[in-house]
């Protein structure tokens, strides 16, 4: 198939997304690739992250001068929890030290422990699996949906056993996992769901915020995330019971009513509290987060309409229920067949040379050696039978995810915060590389 023909055909068909946005036209992209000595499409850096002004300075100074740096003494963490619950429409919010602890506290509060299984996708940050291992439970990976990059909802049922203690879908990149399918299944099988919404601030499924749909939803405010306090996390829940369990667990098993020199405990726990500094910084950053989310959505939607016209570039699809994608990452698949067999690594290098930094994203998490090492540790050997671990090994196959890890390309969220013309430059760089792919492949 001749790519040029395909493209003309597509343009003649007047793509609906393009029509809605007005004239969507790919930039000419005629110049020589920068990697071959041509002029880069772009020389200016993309918007830097985080965005700050006097608001942050005043917030941090306020906490500093108050001398109340711990949530037990100050009001900032309480204020943040109220504000984040309001912003997301959740009944309760608990702030935590980071996203990893939000996930850990959630699973611990649900009673997940040794012998249990937790279902999760392999296309995620390592923290999603680390919390399962920290509780000595067994992570059960369900393969990825190639089109959406999310956990494949059609394959979850098959992974459920009588030991499944939780399902942990991840809204990867800020787009939504198929919550309707996952929730229907979980309700039927009576299994709690913990949303890993660490990349999905203000994303929505059917007009309700991601993270506010299930038993608990977890967020990260680590430096790269769309809402940032360097480190930080939060748990959302509608359950009056779970929020108290979460609170106690994150506070060394001391419930809300236990203060001062009362050293009686009813369960185990850890100290995973957020500081007053983090909360004050988050409240300041929250003055911009809605506008930033809208800007990312507008730019990303436009970029999708441009990239969809380039043969071999397949932007990650969204499930119909996802009405707001948080775009922590802009993700697409790269098909080298349409780029004269130019390897992805070289494509990324050529993109960087054009002034468009991009990455190839995650490696297959379910194949990481640390998993096998952990499962052969003394603790795991004591809890799980040889047969059970052998069966885990046998079932731990995610061929679609393996493929996705070879084809994915990511742009980071800050690249979506500038003017729309930045998106034209991204598309122009990709198109320029495609036009010269054969030359680049030989070089
Ligand atoms: C960032 C992230 C986490 C962990 O959050 P931290 O705040 O870094 O601990 C967990 N899951 C996903 C999908 C993430 O992106």
Three-state SS string across 217-263, please?
Answer: EEEECCCCCCCCCCCCEEEEECCHHHHHHHHHHHECCCCCCCCCCCC
pLDDT digits (tens, 9 = 90+) for 355-399: 999 999 999 999 999 999 999 999 999 999 999 999 999 999 999
Any ligand 1 atom below 6 A from CB of 100: yes
Centre of ligand 1 to C-alpha 134, Å, is: 15
Is residue 180 within 8 A of residue 149, CB to CB? The reply is no
* Buried-exposed string 145-183: b where 16+ CB fall within 10 A, e elsewhere: bbebbbbbbebbeebbeeebbbbbbbbbbbbbbbbbbbb
Centre of ligand 1 to C-alpha 328, Å, is: 12
In words, the CATH class of domain 7-46+289-361+404-442 is alpha beta
First to last CA, the chain: 25
Specify the range with the lowest mean pLDDT, choosing from 8-12, 27-31, 340-344, 388-392: 8-12
Centre of ligand 1 to C-alpha 142, Å, is: 19
pTM confidence score: 0.94
Any ligand 1 atom below 6 A from CB of 228: no
For domain 54-287, give the CATH number.
3.40.640.10
Cis peptide leading into residue 99 (ω within 30°): no
pLDDT value of position 23 = 55
Any ligand 1 atom below 6 A from CB of 124: yes
pLDDT digits (tens, 9 = 90+) for 245-274: 999 999 999 998 877 777 778 789 999 999
Any ligand 1 atom below 6 A from CB of 99: yes
Any ligand 1 atom below 6 A from CB of 233: yes
Any ligand 1 atom below 6 A from CB of 196: yes
Residue range(s) of every CATH 3.40.640.10 domain in the chain: 54-287
CA 431 to each of CA 141, 275, 312: distance values in angstroms, whole numbers, following the listed order: 36, 47, 10
Centre of ligand 1 to C-alpha 51, Å, is: 20
**Residue 288: partners with Cβ closer than 8 Å, 6 or more residues away:** 51
Measured over the CA atoms of residue 401, residue 407, residue 412 and residue 416, the dihedral's sign is negative
Measured over the CA atoms of residue 24, residue 28, residue 34 and residue 40, the dihedral's sign is negative
Residue range(s) of every CATH 3.90.1150.10 domain in the chain: 7-46+289-361+404-442
Any ligand 1 atom below 6 A from CB of 305: no
**Residue of 324, 305, 301, 325 whose CA lies nearest to 313:** 305
Centre of ligand 1 to C-alpha 56, Å, is: 23
Centre of ligand 1 to C-alpha 406, Å, is: 22
pLDDT digits (tens, 9 = 90+) for 192-213: 999 999 999 999 999 999 999 9
Task: Look at ligand 1, atom 14, and give the residue with the nearest C-alpha.
Answer: 198
């Amino acid at each position: 198939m001749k790519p040029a023909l395909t493209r003309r055909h597509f343009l003649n068909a007047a793509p609906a997304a393009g029509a809605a946005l007005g004239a969507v036209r790919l930039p000419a992209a005629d110049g020589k690739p920068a990697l071959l000595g041509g002029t880069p499409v772009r020389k200016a850096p993309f918007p830097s992250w985080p965005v700050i002004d006097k608001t942050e300075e005043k917030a941090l100074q306020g906490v500093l001068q108050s001398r109340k740096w711990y949530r037990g003494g100050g009001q900032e963490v309480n204020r943040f929890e109220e504000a984040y619950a309001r912003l997301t429409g959740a009944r309760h919010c608990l702030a935590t030290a980071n996203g990893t602890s939000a996930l850990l506290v959630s699973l611990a509060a649900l009673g997940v422990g040794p012998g249990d299984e937790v279902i999760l996708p392999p296309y995620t940050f390592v923290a999603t699996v680390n919390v399962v291992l920290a509780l000595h439970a067994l992570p059960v990976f369900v393969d990825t949906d190639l089109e959406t990059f999310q956990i494949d909802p059609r394959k979850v049922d098959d992974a459920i056993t009588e030991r499944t203690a939780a399902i942990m879908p991840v809204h990867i990149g800020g787009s939504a996992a198929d919550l309707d399918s996952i929730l229907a299944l979980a309700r039927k099988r009576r299994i709690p769901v913990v949303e890993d919404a660490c990349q999905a601030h203000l994303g929505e499924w059917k007009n309700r915020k991601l993270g506010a749909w299930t038993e608990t939803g977890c967020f990260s405010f680590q430096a790269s995330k769309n809402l940032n306090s360097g480190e930080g996390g939060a748990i959302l829940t509608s359950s009056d019971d779970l929020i108290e369990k979460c609170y106690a667990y994150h506070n060394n098993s001391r419930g809300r009513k236990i203060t001062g020199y009362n050293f009686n405990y009813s369960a185990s726990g850890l100290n995973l509290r957020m500081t007053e500094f983090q909360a004050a910084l988050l409240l300041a950053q929250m003055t911009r987060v809605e506008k930033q989310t809208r800007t990312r959505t507008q730019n990303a939607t436009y970029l999708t309409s441009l990239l969809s016209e380039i043969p071999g570039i397949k932007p990650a699809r969204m499930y119909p229920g996802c009405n707001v994608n948080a775009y922590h990452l802009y993700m697409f698949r790269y098909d080298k067949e349409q780029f004269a067999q130019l390897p992805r690594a070289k494509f990324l290098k050529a993109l960087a040379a054009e002034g468009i930094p991009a990455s190839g994203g995650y490696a297959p998490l379910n194949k990481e050696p640390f998993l096998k090492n952990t499962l052969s540790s003394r603790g795991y050997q004591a809890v799980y039978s040889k047969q059970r671990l052998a069966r885990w090994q046998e079932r731990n196959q995610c061929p679609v995810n393996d493929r996705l890890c070879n084809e994915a390309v990511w742009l980071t969220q800050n690249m979506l915060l500038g003017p729309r013309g930045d998106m034209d430059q991204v598309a122009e760089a990709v198109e320029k590389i495609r036009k010269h792919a054969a030359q680049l492949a030989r070089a």
